Amino acid sequence: MFNSIKLKSALLSVVLLVLLLGVWEGIYQAPQDSKPLTEYELLMGGATQEARVPPPSEIIKLGYEELSDPFYDAGPNDKGIGIQLGYSIYRVTVGFLLAALIAIPVGFLVGMSPLMYGALNPFIQVMRPISPLAWMPLALFIIKDSEISAIFVIFICSIWPMLLNTAFGVANVRKDWVNVARTHELSHIKTALLVILPAAAPTILTGMRISIGIAWLVIVAAEMLVGGTGIGYYVWNEWNNLNLASVIFSIFMIGVVGMFLDMTLAYAARWVEYQE
């Protein structure tokens, strides 16, 4: 029963998790019962009492509470974790899809035409290394809407990996397959749809996977800046409240959602994969 590698690694994962949480729990010392404060301490606001990173048990308890009612909405500063994550996922999805809508056709163009590649490459090379957050002030000034600005930042950061991968995939379609299309007198559009797109699809999907990963990294930072809603704002807000259990729980949730986003695209990639 315990001889398959998969099962053994799963077991080892659980052991490591328990060990890690156990050590964390063990080194946690609850703040000592404070003696009556001296006048000086009172003046200093009891500053000697340190805030401590909460133990796992406290975080799990909070997590359970949050997840049992994830969608409550009690005003602008008190929304459930589900709502906050929902806002972030919504922004990432919209920005990502808009980027795909532009990156894939432009990538096709760049990949198929050496002329367009030469003409657009300098722009791409300069724009690509710009941190997406550097666009934020300009976006806020021009768009004058924090919501759309956040989406724009996602858009601008997801466009490059998709564009470059599409161009690379399209440019490297095996010449033989293109020749097959040519000897069958396929039109340019049919060649693109029937031969080049399926041939380049795995590379394009890889680009999309990289993009959504980056988009999920960037949305947290973007929401910390624009505020209002979203998981990034939530983490920052809980930090301001010095609610560290909440901060740690959110960090964990960001990881889980990011993993699911990646898995979705990995699953989609399996549909277009082929073996030569």
Partner 1 sequence: MNTHFLQVQGLKKSYPGPGKSPETVIFEDANFNIEKGEFICVIGHSGCGKSTILNILAGLDEASDGVVIMNEKEVSGPSLDRGVVFQNYSLLPWRTALQNVTFAVQARWPEWSKERILEHSHRYLDLVGLKGAHDRKPSQLSGGMRQRVSIARAFATQPQLLLMDEPFGALDALTRGVIQEELIKIWTESKQTVFMITHDVDEAILLSDRILLMSNGPKARIAESVKVSIPRPRKRTDIIHHDNYYTIRNHLVDFLVNRSKLVSEDESAKQPYPKEITFPE
Q: In angstroms, rounded to a whole number, what is the distance separating the alpha carbons of residues 41 and 59?
A: 30
Closest CB to partner 1 among residues 168, 177: 177
Q: In angstroms, rounded to a whole number, what is the distance separating the alpha carbons of residues 192 and 190?
A: 5
Does residue number 199 form part of the binding site for partner 1 (CB under 8 A)? yes
Residues 215-274 that bind partner 1 (CB under 8 A): 272, 274
Residue in 116, 124, 192, 194 binding partner 1, rule: CB under 8 A: 194
Provide the mask over 151-190, with x wherever binding to partner 1 is found by CB under 8 A and - wherever it is not: -------------------------xx-xx-xxxxx----
Closest CB to partner 1 among residues 124, 180: 180
Q: How far is the CB of 267 from partner 1 (least distance, A)?
A: 17
Q: What b/e string do you get for 94-114 counting C-beta neighbours within 10 Å, with b at 16 or more?
A: bbbebbbeebbebbbbbbbee
Does residue number 198 form part of the binding site for partner 1 (CB under 8 A)? yes
Does residue number 133 form part of the binding site for partner 1 (CB under 8 A)? no
Does residue number 78 form part of the binding site for partner 1 (CB under 8 A)? no
Task: Please name the residues in contact with 216: beta carbons below 8 A apart, sequence gap of 6 or more.
Answer: 92, 254, 257, 258, 261
> According to DSSP H, which parts of 113-145 are helical?
114-127, 136-143
Residues forming beta bridges with residue 270, ordered by sequence position: none
Does residue number 195 form part of the binding site for partner 1 (CB under 8 A)? yes
Q: In angstroms, rounded to a whole number, what is the distance separating the alpha carbons of residues 205 and 165?
A: 8
What residues make contact with partner 1 under the rule CB under 8 A? 176-177, 179-180, 182-186, 194-195, 198-199, 272, 274-276
